[in-house]
Amino acid sequence: DAGVTQSPTHLIKTRGQQVTLRCSPKSGHDTVSWYQQALGQGPQFIFQYYEEEERQRGNFPDRFSGHQFPNYSSELNVNALLLGDSALYLCASSQTGTSEQYFGPGTRLTVT
Amino acid sequence: EDQVTQSPEALRLQEGESSSLNCSYTVSGLRGLFWYRQDPGKGPEFLFTLYSAGEEKEKERLKATLTKKESFLHITAPKPEDSATYLCAVQARGTSYGKLTFGQGTILTVHP
């Protein structure tokens, strides 16, 4: 049973650029959440997608946007990158009606 | 606003030396409290979910307990492979969409 997968593993971007990160949920899961984890901190909730719509959002600016596809996979887009966007971006999947979220390995984004 | 505080920030143990990690939380009605293990550069690995005060869960050398204000992760006779960052997170009742609020984690190092 494949777990949550994310791509790419690592990414280096320049300030002002745009980036797209991808996530495939665990088999049988229909909900995808995205988190940002700065070095030495716990993950912070960005937003959650279900039925191809954003249904909950954390305290992140509109530069952060996402999408969910009919096969439940998801993308996280960040525009106008800032140095402070450098972090580990984590995708977590879950099944509607259950509490547990299962995380992928993350994408390490470095903004220079 | 939901808050999670973990202590200590870092814990060094000798192999076989049992100890406990603490997670204090403030939430507007607890739906669930979650423990995760995270290895460096990897995504969090799900360990336990606790739903109500008095509940306990065990897995190998780990045992998680829950009160109305805090949770403890007890580690019995730890081994070097237990070295990792342990994260605690809460999910509020009424938040049917599942946002997790994390603490900053406890870095556990077990020396042989």
Three-class HEC string of chain A: CCCCEEECCEEEECCCCCEEEEEECCCCCCEEEEEEECCCCCCEEEEEEECCEEEEECCCCCCEEEEECCCCCEEEEECCCCHHHCEEEEEEEECCCCCCCEECCCEEEEEC
Q: Given an 8 Å threshold on Cβ–Cβ distance, is A43 in contact with B100?
A: yes
Query: CB distance from A94 to chain B under 8 Å?
Result: yes
- Predicted confidence band of residue B72 (pLDDT cuts 50, 70, 90): very high
Task: Please state, rounded to an integer, the average pLDDT across all residues of chain B.
Answer: 95
**pLDDT tens digits, one per residue of A57-109:** 999 999 999 999 999 999 999 999 999 999 999 999 999 888 899 999 999 99
Q: Given an 8 Å threshold on Cβ–Cβ distance, is A58 in contact with B99?
A: yes
> Does B96 have pLDDT greater than 80?
no
User: Residue A36 in contact with residue A46, Cβ under 8 Å?
Assistant: yes
**Hey, what's the torsion of the CAs at A96, A48, B34, B28, to 10 degrees?**
-100
From B80, B104, B101, B6, select the one nearest A59 (Cα to Cα).
Answer: B101
Chain A residue with Cα closest to B95: A56
CA-based nearest distance B88→chain A, Å: 9
Nearest by CB to A55, from B32, B91, B97: name it. B97
Percentage of residues of chain B with pLDDT beyond 90: 90
Q: Can you tell me the mean pLDDT for B24-28?
A: 93
> Does A53 have pLDDT greater than 90?
yes
Nearest by CB to B100, from A88, A101, A104: name it. A101
CA-based nearest distance A79→chain B, Å: 23
Percentage of residues of chain B with pLDDT beyond 70: 97
Query: CB distance from B35 to chain A under 8 Å?
Result: no
Nearest by CB to A42, from B31, B45, B102: name it. B102
Q: Given an 8 Å threshold on Cβ–Cβ distance, is B41 in contact with A55?
A: no
Nearest by CB to B100, from A31, A45, A50: name it. A45
What b/e string do you get for B52-84 counting C-beta neighbours within 10 Å, with b at 16 or more?
eeeeeeeeeebbbbbeeebbbbebeebeeebbb
CA-based nearest distance A80→chain B, Å: 25
Task: Give me the pLDDT at residue B28, please.
Answer: 86
Q: Can you tell me the mean pLDDT for B59-82?
A: 97
> Does A45 have pLDDT greater than 90?
yes
Task: Give me the pLDDT at residue B55, please.
Answer: 97
DSSP B91: E
CA-based nearest distance A59→chain B, Å: 12
> Does A1 have pLDDT greater than 70?
no
Q: Can you tell me the mean pLDDT for A2-29?
A: 96
Cα gap B89→B37, rounded to integer Å: 11
Give, in order, the Cα–Cα distances in Å from A24 to each of A58, A82, A83. 21, 26, 27
Supply A103's token pair.
């995380």
DSSP B40: T
